[in-house]
Amino acid sequence: MNGLVPLPRVTLGVILGMSCSFSLAATPEEKIASAMSAAPPSVSATATILDWPADMAAEMPTLRQGTNGWTCLPDMPATPGNDPMCLDAPWLDWLNAWVNKTTPVTKELGFGYMLQGGSPESNTDPYASGPSDSNEWITEPVPHLMILVPDAAMLEGLPTDHNNGGPWVMWRDTPYVHIMAPMPAYRP
C-alpha cells in the first residue's frame, strides 16, 4: 500500500452527514499542523502527512512526504470532534480495512496516536453512527494511544470499560479490536 488509502463513498457518506469541526477550506499548512498535533513531535515531525480527499472515493493526497514510516492525517472534516491521527504501517493497513469494511490482517504490534482526543463513538460497534442502549457511546473521547496486537486472544482479561481510568479494549468481538490507552493531550 503506497501510503494511499482509497476511501469508499459509502463509508464516508455517513460521516459527511455529521457537523464539521475543521474547514474544508483549510490551507495545506493548517492541515499539516492539525495532522502533526496528533502525536509527539518525535513521531510527527518527519511523518508523511496525508489529507482526506474531496472526492471520498479517491485516494488520500500527500501533503508532505515523510521519512520515518509514520503517516499522519489532519482532523477529519466531516466529524464533530477534533480527530487527527498518526499511524504506523500496521495501523494504516487497519484503517484501510476499517474504511473498506474488510477484515484487517495484523501481523505485528501496531501503534497509533490521537492526542487531540477524537469524535464521539461507540465502544462496542465500529460502525455505529449514534448512541443506543447497547453500544456504550463515548461522548467525550480522551487523548489516547491505540495499540493493535497480532492475536486478539492476547487481549483476554483486559478491561473493556472506557470509564475505568486506564487502558481498555475497544470493539472487542469485532475484527477491529484494539487497546485504547489514555494519554495527556498534546498542545502544539
User: What are the domain boundaries of the chain?
Assistant: 9-182
Question: In degrees rounded to 5, what are phi and psi of residue 16?
Answer: -65, -20
Give, in degrees to the nearest 5, the angle at Cα 11 between 6 and 12: 80
**DSSP H or E segment with residue 166:** none
List the chain pLDDT tens, one digit each, 188 residues. Answer: 444 444 432 233 233 333 333 445 699 999 999 999 999 999 999 999 999 887 766 789 999 999 999 999 999 988 899 999 999 999 999 999 998 899 999 999 999 999 999 999 999 999 999 999 999 999 999 999 999 999 999 999 999 999 999 999 999 999 999 999 999 887 87
